Amino acid sequence: MKYLLSAWTDIARQLREANHILLLTDYDGTLTPIVEHPDLANLSENTRIILQTLARQHRITLGVISGRALDDLKEKVGIKGMIYAGNHGLEIEGPGIRFTNTIAEEFRPFLRIMHYVLERTLSTVKGVFIENKGLSLSVHYRLADKDRIEEVGRIVGEVAGDAGAAGKARIVPGKKVYEVRPTVTWNKGNAIKLLMKKYGKGGRRSGLFAIYLGDDVTDEDGFKVINNYGIGLSIYVGEENRQSVAHYYLYSSIEVANFLTMLLEYIQNRVSVHVPLDEIMREQQIEMT
């Protein structure tokens, strides 16, 4: 795993040969820092302006792939012309694409029941809250007392485990969260494959350069797809992690914004018209006043 910003010269050389860039990123912990409650994870104004400008570049197709529900993700980002993939790619909307995993859709009523059961059984554990995202559930325990965390895992395992034995649900651990998902063969990696086929017809011969940034265990499937494709960047966000299959890493969401700025400036310098980022930011500030 290499530190991405120190490898920029090599990366720029690879980008030079790309016909089109598919730039995909996770949201929580990648575009925004990890916070105590998902509602508090908001884009910084600087990151929003960079994303808005990237979304207008003809050489880039930009998307966000998140465990959040699709509508929640669209509201948090709120930029036109982007791909939005919610529930780890179970539901996708973007330019020329609208996708919902039909098998997962059948599990909505069942997940509503599980949501009810988990809320009742975990109601005595302070700091735990359950998020019903339609096609999946998230049991957040970041604010729970440390001596109750094992109990949370046990309860989630018992409730979802019984359903899992019936082939209906599976548990995927993340950063201070348990994801309860329908037992369908679909993850962020499958979503990225779908998007690569959509926006890079012809495979490697199309000249599509794929980039994916993420910070959690659920992003590893996406990194594997990028690595197998062989033309692109798999980027882990956090301290260097030897357990991750990503080829590069950035330390934080701040460094992600720095990388996106470098990518934007590189793309703008490769075309005839280059609008400096500071000028774009001034225009945005004028529009907001």
The per-residue pLDDT for 171 is 87
The per-residue pLDDT for 165 is 53
Name the strand (E) or helix (H) holding 85: strand 83-86
84 & 200 share domain? yes
154 & 269 share domain? no
93 & 190 share domain? yes
Structure tokens at 12: 């720029």
24 & 160 share domain? no
47 & 95 share domain? yes
Which residues lie below 8 Å from residue 19, measured CB to CB, with a gap of 6+?
59, 206, 207, 208, 209
Q: Which of 116, 149, 182 is the last residue of a domain?
A: 182
What is the number of structural domains in the chain? 2
Which strands make up the sheet holding 208-214, listed edge to edge?
2-3, 248-250, 232-237, 208-214, 20-25, 60-65, 83-86, 91-94, 97-100
Query: For this structure, is 26 an active site residue?
Result: yes
| pLDDT tens digits, one per residue of 112-158 | 888 999 999 999 899 999 999 989 899 999 989 999 999 999 999 88
Cα–Cα distance measured from residue 203 to residue 196, given in angstroms and rounded to the nearest whole number: 8
Q: Which of 182, 212, 227 is the last residue of a domain?
A: 182
Q: What is the 8-class DSSP label of residue 32? A: B
Sequential pLDDT tens for the chain (289 residues): 999 999 999 999 999 888 899 999 999 999 999 888 888 999 999 999 999 999 999 999 999 999 999 999 999 999 999 999 999 999 999 999 999 998 888 888 888 888 999 999 999 899 999 999 989 899 999 989 999 999 999 999 888 777 655 677 888 888 889 988 888 889 999 999 999 999 886 566 678 999 999 999 999 999 999 999 999 999 999 999 989 999 999 999 999 999 999 999 998 886 433 344 444 444 444 433 3
State the catalytic residue, choosing from 10, 26, 147, 215.
26
160 & 261 share domain? no
Using DSSP's 3-state secondary structure scheme, residue 273 falls into coil
75 & 205 share domain? yes
88 & 207 share domain? yes
Model pTM score: 0.84
DSSP string, 113-165: HHHHHHHHHTTTSTT-EEEE-SS-EEEE-TTS-GGGHHHHHHHHHHHHHHHHH
Please give the C-alpha separations between residue 126 and each of 59, 152, 156, 157, in angstroms, as whole numbers.
Answer: 48, 11, 15, 18
178 & 163 share domain? yes
Q: Which of 120, 151, 182 is the last residue of a domain?
A: 182
Nearest to 175 by CA among 120, 221, 238: 238
200 & 161 share domain? no
175 & 212 share domain? no
* Domain coverage including residue 8: 2-101+186-288
Q: What CATH number is given to the structural domain containing 196?
A: 3.40.50.1000
Q: What CATH number is given to the structural domain containing 142?
A: 3.30.70.1020
